[in-house]
Amino acid sequence: MKTLLSLLFILASSYTIAQQTPQSTQTNTTTKTTGCVSGDCDNGWGKWVYNNGYYSGFWFNKKRSGYGMYDWTEAGKYIGWWKNDKRDGYGVYFYNEKDEMSGEFKNGELDGLGKNFKDGKWKQGVYSNGNLVTEHTFYDNKIKTGCIAGDCQNKYGRFKWSNGDVFTGFFKYGNMYMGTYAFVNGDKYSGMFNSQNKFHGNGRFFFANGEYYGGEWMDGKYNGLGYYVDKDLISQKGYWTNGVLTKSYD
C-alpha cells in the first residue's frame, strides 16, 4: 500500500483542468431533424439525432468511436467510450430513472470489472456479457483511515486518506485500478488508473467549480481525444497532449 500512501503528492501534481454532464454546446445550423445535425459525424465530433434519441461525441469512419454520450428518449443515458458504434471501454449507463451500471463495457454489454445499482442495491464484481459471474462483497472494516471497507488489494474496496480524500472502486495488486477518487475540496475523478495510481486510460473529471473533462488520460494528464467544458459552458473538443488542446474539433 506504499504506492497509495504517496498518491496525494502524485495527484496534486498531475492533473490540470475540467464538471457537468457533458452536452454539446454547438448550435444546429441546419434544418435537419434527424441524422448529423451538427459537427463532423465522419471523423471528428458531431451530434447525430436518431428516432430514439441522440448521440453527441467523437466519430471515426462514420461510427461512434471514442468518448461520447447517447441519450435515449425512453431507455436512459450512457456516457463513456465507444468502438464501432457499440459501448466499449469505461462508461456509465443510467437507466430506469434511478438505476445505474458502470465499469468496463465490451460489445455494448458490461463485461469485465463493474458494478450495477438495481432495486436499491449495488452489486459489484466481474461481469460477463452483462451478467455478474463473480461478486465482490463490500463490508465495513471498522477503521477510520486506510482500507476502511472491502478488499483494497485485488477486489473492490474503499480507501480513505488522513486528509479526507477517498477512493472507492476496484484494486489490483494494492493499487487503484478503476473507480471514483473524491477529493476533499469537492473535485472528483471517475475512471481508470495505471499501476502508479495516476489517472490513465478513459476517465471523467468533475471540478468543484463546475468545469468538466471527459476523455483519454495518460500519466495524470489529458492525452488523446477529449471533451472539456468550463463553468460558463464553453467547450473545447479535440486531441490533447499533456493537458493542452493541440487539435481542435470545434
- Cell numbers at residue 56, please? 453527441
Position 183 pLDDT exceeds 80: yes
Q: In the prediction, which pLDDT does 207 show?
A: 98
For 117, 158, 249, the CA distances from 31, given in Å and listed in that order, are 40, 50, 22
Q: With a cut of 90, say whether residue 168 has pLDDT above it.
A: yes
pLDDT value at residue 74 = 86
Strand 35-39 vs strand 166-172: parallel, antiparallel, or unpaired? Answer: unpaired
Q: What distance in Å separates the CA atoms of residue 159 and residue 169, rounded to the nearest whole number?
A: 9
Spatial separation of the C-alpha atoms in residues 35 and 13, rounded to whole Å: 43
How many domains would you assign to the chain? 1
**Interval 110-134 mean pLDDT:** 96
Q: What domain range is 163 assigned to? A: 2-248
Tens-place pLDDT, residues 28-80: 444 568 999 999 999 999 999 999 999 999 999 999 999 999 999 988 999 99
Check pLDDT > 90 for residue 6: no
Rg of the chain over all Cα atoms, to the nearest angstrom: 18
